[in-house]
Amino acid sequence: MANKVTKREVINEMLTVDVIKENDKFRDYLEHELELLDKKAASRKPAKEKEENVAIKAEIKSVLTDKGVTVSELQTMSDTLKGLSNQKVSSLLRQLVEAGEVVKTIDKKKSFFALA
């Protein structure tokens, strides 16, 4: 299934059409709509869970070393991480790996995580 087209993509595409480029009224309207989208995006505050995840990721990075550890081992190393499910910690580790902050190594079906 193809990705959903956003309002911003539609407006930007419409601004490339010659008829709209030549008509000030249409162009001004579409540019105003883009400004409204920017304003809405700027005023949006991050979700509470996202803010909590930032703190948990910082805790994960502070506990990790250069030596690889599993998710279960990582959870035993920190009181903050003990109360979290394996799925939650794994998900946050995956995000850290994608960001290049943590390295994942797989050995005999076990995943080990270390600081990048």
CATH assignment at residue 93 = 1.10.10.10
Query: Residue 46 CB: number of other CB atoms within 10 A?
Result: 10
- Same domain for 64 and 105? yes
Residue 3: per-residue pLDDT = 77
Task: Look at the chain and report how many structural domains it folds into.
Answer: 2
Q: Examine the domain organization and report whether 52 and 109 are in the same domain.
A: yes
What digits encode the pLDDT tens for the residues 76-94? 988 888 889 999 999 999 9
Task: Report yes or no on 1 lying in a domain.
Answer: no
Q: With cut-offs at 50, 70 and 90, classify the pLDDT of residue 100.
A: very high
Q: Looking at the structure, do residues 89 and 108 belong to the same domain, yes or no?
A: yes
Residues 52 and 39 in one domain: no
For the entire predicted model, the pTM comes to: 0.60
Do residues 110 and 55 share a domain? Answer: yes
Question: What pLDDT is attached to residue 90?
Answer: 93
3-state secondary structure the chain: CCCCCCHHHHHHHHCCCHHHHHCHHHHHHHHHHHHHHHHHHHHCCCCHHHHHHHHHHHHHHHHCCCCCECHHHHHHCCHHHHCCCHHHHHHHHHHHHHCCCEEEEEECCEEEEEEC
| Domain, as residue range, for 105 | 48-115
